[in-house]
């Protein structure tokens, strides 16, 4: 039977983690599906790991894994780290701050089954997808990042920088193995590599709502890293 491993990278998500876990569990239980959540916490100073341990007590170690790292090592490597422990044949990657709502999970699963797709990616930039709560600057950065990579690399995915995605586990392992970048640019590189490797990708429109608690970790160095990533892919793939 299919099993879904949800990789949740966390950095200072103490307030968000219990509710997001509750909702993820609820959707899987309602659908009668096998599931687990793998929390990859990078030594958050706010006590996120204490919350994760309580969740293990509550839901059981077969449903919740805490796979901590010693320091803040970035989102891309957090997925790689979490993937090693995934016991499902499908992996879902999502943010822990409610920008990615667990209520979309059933749609991802349904879409995957429709065409036995290798990857289903959430999109803010097609159908009735959208972004809520971002200021103009952040909206422009996101649109600009997508526009640039679309024009230069043509991967035919409407939202390259989003990170709410469902993968077949073996497919994810192959793409991750080929992906070189570590920061926010990681998401875009994953889609470009997936296309180059011939994997099938379907899209599900999602509403991305900016976090209620805490702060985004996107900074200027991530933007420079992104531009370098587009250039590297342009000259290599
Ligand atoms: N373990 C770990 N987790 C991290 C780190 N940095 C961020 N996270 C976690 O990763 C998730 C996303 O981080 P945010 O800081 O909330 O990202 P964002 O600015 O809202 O960016 C979102 O949108 C981008 C595209 O517009 C995405 O590229 C990005 O992945 C994310 O979905 C959250 O669950 C956060 O706790 C890190 O270094 N280590
Ligand atoms: Mg966020």
Convert the pLDDT of each residue in 19-32 to its tens digit: 999 999 999 999 99
Write out the DSSP string of 65-82.
Answer: EE---SS---HHHHHHHH
Q: Which atom of ligand 1 is nearest to the CA of 208?
A: 23
- CA 97 / ligand 1 centre spacing (Å): 8
Neighbours of ion ligand 2 (CB under 5 A): 97, 99, 211
Cα of 34 from ligand 1 centre, angstroms: 26
Q: Is the pLDDT score of 2 beyond 80?
A: yes
In the predicted model, is pLDDT for residue 218 greater than 80? no
Q: What DSSP element (H or E) covers 10? A: strand 3-10
Quickly state the pLDDT bin for 49 (edges 50, 70, 90): very high
Query: How many residues make up the chain in this entry?
Result: 237
Q: Tell me how many domains the chain contains.
A: 1
Cα separation, 1 vs 15, whole angstroms: 33
Residue 129: pLDDT band with limits 50, 70, 90: very high
Q: Interior CA angle at 78 toward 31 and 95, to 5°?
A: 45
Cα 133 to ligand 2 centroid, rounded to whole Å: 11
> For position 140, what pLDDT does the model report?
92
Cβ(95) – ligand 1 distance below 6 Å: yes
Give distance in angstroms: CA of 128 to centre of ligand 1.
23
CA dihedral 169, 171, 173, 176 (to 10 degrees): -130
Query: Which CATH number belongs to the domain containing residue 71 in this structure?
Result: 3.90.550.10
DSSP 181-202: --STHHHHHHHHHHHHTT--EE
How much is the ipTM here?
0.96
Q: Report whether 188 contacts 113 (CB < 8 A).
A: no
Query: Which structural domain, as residue segments, surrounds residue 211?
Result: 3-236
Scored b (16 or more CB within 10 A) or e, 66-87 reads bbebeeebbbbbbbbbbbeebe
Section 72-77 average pLDDT: 88
Instruction: Please identify, by atom number, the ligand 1 atom nearest to the C-alpha of residue 72.
Output: 38
Radius of gyration of the chain (CA): 17
pLDDT, tens digit (0-9, with 9 covering 90-100), for 84-120 = 999 999 999 999 999 999 999 999 999 999 999 999 9
**First CA to last CA distance, the chain:** 36
Mean pLDDT of 167-186: 92
Whole-number Å distance between alpha carbons of 208 and 129 = 8
CA 59 to chain centre: 22
The rounded distance, in Å, linking the Cα atoms of 104 and 208 is 11
Q: Is the pLDDT of residue 188 over 90?
A: yes
The DSSP call for residue 114 is H
pLDDT recorded at residue 236:
86
Pick the ligand that lies closest to the CA of residue 13. Answer: 1
226 lines ligand 1 (CB under 6 A): no
């Amino acid at each position: 039977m299919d099993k879904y491993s949800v990789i949740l990278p966390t950095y200072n998500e103490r307030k968000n983690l219990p509710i997001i876990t509750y909702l993820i569990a609820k959707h899987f239980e309602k659908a009668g599906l096998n599931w687990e959540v793998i929390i990859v916490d990078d030594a958050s100073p706010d006590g996120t790991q204490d919350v994760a341990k309580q969740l293990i007590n509550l839901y059981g170690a077969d449903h919740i894994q805490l796979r901590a790292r010693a320091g803040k090592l970035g989102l891309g490597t957090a997925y790689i780290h979490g993937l090693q422990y995934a016991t499902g044949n499908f992996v879902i990657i999502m943010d822990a701050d409610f920008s990615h709502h667990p209520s979309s999970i059933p749609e991802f699963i349904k879409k995957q089954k429709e065409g036995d797709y290798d990857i289903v990616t959430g999109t803010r930039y097609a159908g009735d997808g959208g972004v809520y709560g971002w200021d103009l600057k952040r909206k422009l950065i996101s649109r600009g990042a997508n526009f640039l990579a679309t024009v230069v690399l043509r991967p035919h995915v409407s939202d390259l920088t989003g990170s709410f995605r469902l993968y077949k586990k073996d497919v994810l392992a192959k793409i991750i193995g080929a992906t070189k970048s570590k920061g926010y640019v990681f998401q875009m590189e994953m889609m470009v590599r997936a296309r180059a490797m011939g994997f099938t990708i379907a899209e599900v429109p999602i509403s991305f709502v900016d976090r209620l608690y805490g702060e985004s970790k996107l900074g200027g160095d991530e933007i420079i890293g992104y531009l370098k990533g587009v250039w590297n892919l342009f000259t290599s793939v």
